[in-house]
Amino acid sequence: MASDEPTNTTRRRYIASAGALAGSALLAGCQGGSDATTTTDTTTQATTDATTAGTTDASGPYSVSMAPVGEVEFEEPPTNVMVYSLLYADMAVAYGYGDAVNSLGFSTNAAGSLHAYYDQLDGVSFDQSGLTQLNQGGTGITVDKEVFYDLDSDLHLIDPALVVGFDGWDIDDVNTIGEDVAPWFGNVLSRRNTEPPAAYADSYEYYTLWEISEKVAQVFQAQERYDALAAIHDDLLSTIQSGLPPESERPTVASVIFIDGTFYPSKFNADGFAHAHTRPMQAPGAFTESDVSYQSAYDYETMLEVDPDVIINRYSYSYYDISSVRQSMEENAVGSRLSAVQNDRVYAGGNPLQGPVMNLFQLEMTAKQLYPEQFGEWPGYDGGPYPAIPEEEQLFDRDEVAAIMNGDL
């Protein structure tokens, strides 16, 4: 970095970022390959952390702790926040700080998921105009270090364990940005409970989506909003779990991304917040564990051998046109023989990088897609906003969620 970069004013709202959490007691199962999952129960520890992370007195300093960065102290909630992963933008909007977000990893397309859901919430929106797109493309993830100085954020709401893997980055770069500009605060490897890079092997911990959401609420001093949204989430989960049909009546589900005649499969019931909207459905995944990896790719013939009852195409609220996906399958001689195609059960899937508000919609959506007799017919989706559902058929109250997000508690 240039020697004349300021190092004093950039820390104007923060006292310190403590050293990373250390020790094997904080590990929740970091063993295995890039798609490794943990079976260790982190709920008790995470709940304890959430209630003892620091003060919640908005008139003075307070601290919040989350692996892998450890404890970060604040003088006040941040008002200029760098975000890479979509879930943190959703959290910022939920807690009244959507205007604080200055960036996204993929600002143009990724924000489409937020718009699709927020369209159903009166008075809620997210202005993506003017956001800096951090990832500049290439074969890997290319993010210019200078953009951190240009944006001069109060907080980097980004997992440093993700950043250390960007092209041209290492742990020294991450530490320098954290010291010269603003602290890091984020955890994204809990998406699939993947193994952290070596630099964070002793400080990483896995959290559920809602555990992460509570910690971010503490950052923004918005515990009441979190509590209100979490209560709606708990009620929604209770509704779904109490209404599930017998196991013998649950469809097999193929979670995929479909591109140019090729199906890229994903697990349906795995650990991690990527599956926070599918795992509660307790439906059998169509693929065996050994057949799903980042390198897996199925052609039509292989998919016909699996022949799932339901096909869910992920990211269909931001990146992929579900109408074109269905049409491609219907027009293919083999694809048209798939049971999901013949029975009109190829659905738009949600975004695995979901925040708490996205999660509410995606839980409702998946429940209706898989179990229409129990939770009401899914009205269908061909692009644009999340479909309007009659009030009596909604699984959660839109007005209540909108009121919380608008600060009317």
> pLDDT tens digits for 38-96?
333 333 333 333 333 333 445 689 999 999 999 999 999 999 999 999 999 999 999 99
- Average pLDDT, stretch 233-258? 97
Which structure tokens are listed for 339? 């049971």
In this model, does residue 115 exceed pLDDT 60?
Answer: yes
| Residues near 177 by beta carbon (within 8 Å), at least 6 away in sequence | 145, 148, 156, 184
Same domain, 150 and 201: yes
| Residue 112: pLDDT band with limits 50, 70, 90 | confident
Q: Which of 221, 247, 266 is the last residue of a domain?
A: 221
Asked if residue 1 belongs to a domain, the reply is no
Whether residue 70 lies inside any domain: the answer is yes
Note whether residue 2 is domain-resident: no
pTM: 0.86
The confidence score (pLDDT) of residue 336 equals 98
Return d(Cα 26, Cα 19) in angstroms, integer.
14
Q: Considering the chain, what percentage of its residues have pLDDT values greater than 90?
A: 77
Say which amino acid occupies 300.
Y
pLDDT at 135: 94
Instruction: Count structural domains, the chain.
Output: 2
Main-chain phi, psi angles of 360, to 5 degrees: -60, -50
Q: How confident is the model at residue 396 (pLDDT cuts 50, 70, 90)?
A: very high
Which of 259-273, 276-290, 334-348 is modeled with the greatest confidence?
Answer: 334-348
Say whether both 196 and 250 belong to one domain. no
Strand-pairing partners, residue 64, are 72
Reading the block at residue 235, the tokens are 């009620």
Where is the domain boundary, 183, 204, 221?
A: 221
The domain that holds 110 is classified in CATH as: 3.40.50.1980
The answer to whether residues 171 and 252 belong to one domain is no
**What does the block give as tokens for 104?**
């996204």
pLDDT band at 111 (very low <50, low <70, confident <90, very high): confident
E strand map for 145-283: 155-157, 253-259, 262-266
Residue at which a domain ends, from 221, 248, 278: 221
In a domain? residue 3: no
120 φ, ψ to 5°?
A: -90, 5
Q: Please tell me the distance from the alpha carbon of residue 227 to that of residue 266, in angstroms, as a whole number.
A: 32
Give the range of the structural domain holding residue 41, as residue numbers without chain letter. Answer: 9-221
Question: What are the pLDDT digits (tens) for 270-279?
Answer: 999 999 999 9
Asked whether residue 49 falls in the same domain as residue 171, the answer is yes
Q: Is 212 helix (H, G, I), strand (E, B) or coil?
A: helix
